[in-house]
Amino acid sequence: MMEVSTLTTIAFWAASAMTLGFAAIVVTQRDVFRAAIALAGSFLGVGILYFVLSAEFVGVVQILVYVGAISVLMAFAVMFIQDIASGSRPAQGRLVGVAAALLIFAALAFAVYNTTWTSMDELGTDQVAALTEGFYEVGEGDDIQISLTEPTDDDAVVVENGGVLVDSTGSVGVLLVREYMLAFEIIGLLLVASLIGGLLLMRDRKESEPEKGSASV
């Protein structure tokens, strides 16, 4: 199921080359501002990769959050800090870095090629049909039946779902607010906490200093 077309394969390799090429520029470029621009290119390549992997919603989130927000944050950070003229010099541990990166890559590649991955072909025909062509939820409450064909009973409560692999966006939305409801809420809390933490760290201390001084005198 889900044969990979030649065009998809070409798009995959192009996006991979873009991602890895820009990533290599990020870690070798001395000019930090150029590194930030290359980072945006790398993020864009990853976004295209998600589209190729038929994860459209993740791809859109990637482009909105990474290319749109984090890259701009990086560019602002570079512009705020004047020290940047000196560039990002490599640390002493450059050889250690190359060795560590090669070791990590070798270990991961070894694991990838020595694992027998289960394939989508091992699924039954019903499962494949539900994943690619969609399914119907018949009934309500605790008594919900899954039907692959449109139910004929007019009285039944029917919810029509697209195939999750073909139309992933809607299913991801349902997944986020059903199975992962708690995690979804906690992520919201985490974002608020990091926002407040960021504001506290960035606060100009000079305003609060006179109070401290007058209290101690």
Partner 1 sequence: MTIENVLLVSAALFAIGAYGVVSRRSLITVIMSLELMFNGVVIAAVAFSRFTPSAALLSGDPLTAEAIRSALTGHAFAIFVTAVAAGEAALAFALVFAMYRATESVEITDASEMKN
Q: Which parts of 152-181 interact with partner 1 (CB under 8 A)?
A: 161, 164-165, 168, 171-172, 174-176, 178-180
Residue owning tokens 């870690």: 27
* CA atoms within a 13 Å half-sphere pointing along the CA-CB vector of 50: 16
CB of residue 9 to partner 1, shortest distance in Å: 5
CA distance 159 to 161: 6
Verify binding: residue 18, partner 1, rule CB under 8 A. Answer: no
Nearest distance, CB of residue 164 and partner 1, angstroms: 5
**Angle formed by the axes of helices 71-80 and 32-52, nearest 10°:** 180
Other C-beta atoms closer than 10 Å to the C-beta of 167 total 15
Among positions 47-106, residues that touch partner 1 (CB under 8 A) are: 49-50, 52-55, 57-58, 61-62, 65-66, 69-70, 73-74, 77-78, 80-81, 83-84, 87-91, 93-94, 96-98, 100-102, 104-105
Q: Is 201 a residue that touches partner 1 (CB under 8 A)?
A: yes
SS3 per residue for 145-189: EEECCCCCCCCCCEEEECCCCCCHHHHHHHHHHCCCHHHHHHHHH
Minimum gap (Å) between residue 193 Cβ and partner 1: 8
Task: Single out the residue of 48, 85, 112, 157 in contact with partner 1 (rule: CB under 8 A).
Answer: 112
List binders of partner 1 among 126-145 (CB under 8 A): 126-127, 130-131, 135, 137, 144
Q: Count residues contacting partner 1 (CB under 8 A)?
A: 99
Can residue 194 be called a binding residue for partner 1 (CB under 8 A)? yes
Tokens of 6: 């030649």
Q: What are phi and psi of 76, to 5 degrees?
A: -65, -40
Taking the complex as a whole, the smallest distance from the CB of residue 108 to partner 1 amounts, in Å, to 4
At what angle are helices 168-177 and 181-202 packed, to 10 degrees?
80
Q: Which of 42, 44, 48, 67 binds partner 1 (CB under 8 A)?
A: 42
Q: How far apart are CA 31 and CA 114, in angstroms?
A: 40
Query: Which of the stretches 108-116, 149-157, 207-215 binds partner 1 when contact is defined by CB under 8 A?
Result: 108-116
